[in-house]
Amino acid sequence: MERQRRAGLVAALRWHIEARPGVFDARNGRAQAILADRAAEAQPKQVASAPELVLVERVHGEVLNYGKPMAERESTAQFIDEGSQRLQAANVGRSAHPLTHGGNQGGRGRTRHRQSPGFMTQICADPIPPRRERHARILTGSGAVRGWTRTMPYATNAQDGKRVYFEDEAGDGTPVVLHDGFGDSVEDLREWEIARALPTAEFRPIYVDHRGHGRSDKPHDPDSYEIRVRTADAVAVLDQLRIERAHFIGRSWGGRLCFGIGEHFPGRVRSLVIGGNQPYAWPDTRLARLVGAALAEGAEAESMAPLVRAFEEFWEIRFSDVQRQRLLANDPVALQAAWNAAQHEGAISQELDRWRIPCLIFIGAEDADFIVGARRAAKEIPGAELIVLDQADHYSAHLSQDAIVLERVLRTLRANG
């Protein structure tokens, strides 16, 4: 088995060296990608034939392209075929790919059957070790507490007096504030691979429940979810912890909030990492109409079950029992108010070209709701970077554990610390 594994690695590495000389090396018998910026054409090449490849685009003329068109691979086809067969043999008994996500790695426990990834992604991915349990120091307004039990700190929005719940890992690292998607909570955030990949010696993760979600206050008035008010929630957390500036990371609903923070409170931002959203008027799509109808039905019935069913049917998934219970615990009237506010708020910014904030955006290539807006935002924001996950839709992109995404996130944080 070990000989088969090594043979597969060598075959794959030979292809990589031939395709991209000088940007790969072998360490301890494992192929490890070394990312390198290189000048290229203004538009990136499209990779359509190889599954699960990641395309990293950089506006203003710089392009990082992971993979080559199949027409350029004919001379190395035998290495691909041989390496793929050997790797499949070596991978027998290993856990499923992250996009299958059966919960083996502490994930959100949702199961989705997707096409198996290309063998090069599996070889070059540098797995993130599990975070070690440690004593958490949660800061509140009155001081710090050490121990295994967590306090329940809240920050109060000065604009309307509403409270948002957060959990602070404390420490001396650079603060990173994380927000999750629509209907999700701090518990979901802690299971996100990007959150788990943050080295605690370097960063201080702060997990926040959106208003209307989790343990935060849940007003039923749509005006309470206007973007200027919601961004003030994030600033209230910084003020509560006496933090001047922080990195902000958000996916989906949290990604749109990050755009709002960048527009209304740029002086509090070190960098933005935004997953699966855009800063323009919310698009009128099949998913948006489906969510709106499910929330209306749920508010009438005082139940989140219609939205849970809508999500499962639309993405052809099945939530785990734990995730299902988390979603069902939400307040359907509060979420309907939040959703209606977002549908009518229009564009978050009219002057993205004046932003001076480091910004990394990642999104699925098949995210029909947000891919167009994400590409447009990456072109308008000076210096912004865009990562497109091939063959991933809105849902699967947020479950991705791709090493390239994690590396680019960490590089963005470290470069702007």
pLDDT in tens, 109-143: 443 433 333 222 222 233 334 343 333 333 333 33
In this model, does residue 222 exceed pLDDT 90?
Answer: yes
Listed in sequence order, the residues at least 6 apart from 417 whose beta carbon sits closer than 8 Å to its beta carbon are: 174, 202, 247, 270
Is 192 part of a structural domain of the chain? yes
The answer to whether residues 170 and 194 belong to one domain is yes
Q: Are residues 329 and 307 in the same domain?
A: yes
pLDDT digits (tens, 9 = 90+) for 362-382: 999 999 999 999 999 999 999
Split at pLDDT 50, 70, 90, the class of 56 is low
Please say whether the beta carbons of 226 and 154 come within 8 A.
Answer: no
Please report whether residue 185 resides in a domain: yes
On whether both 72 and 166 belong to a single domain, the answer is no
**CATH at 165:** 3.40.50.1820
Using CA atoms, how far apart are residues 409 and 158, in angstroms rounded to an integer? 31
Same domain, 328 and 179: yes
**186 and 71 housed in the same domain:** no
Q: Both 116 and 155 in a single domain?
A: no
Same domain, 76 and 191: no
pLDDT confidence bin for 399, thresholds 50/70/90: confident
Number of domain units in the chain: 2
Percentage of the residues of the chain whose pLDDT score is greater than 90: 60
Q: What is the domain range of residue 399? A: 137-415
Do 112 and 161 belong together in one domain? no
Are 53 and 47 a contacting pair, CB within 8 Å?
Answer: yes
Query: Which of 124, 151, 169 is a domain's end point?
Result: 124
The answer to whether residue 14 sits within a structural domain is yes
Count CB neighbours of 104 within 10 A.
12
In a domain, 86, yes or no: yes
- Answer yes or no: do 185 and 71 share one domain: no
Name the pTM for this structure.
0.69
Last residue of a domain, one of 124, 146, 165: 124
Q: Are 119 and 244 in a shared domain?
A: no
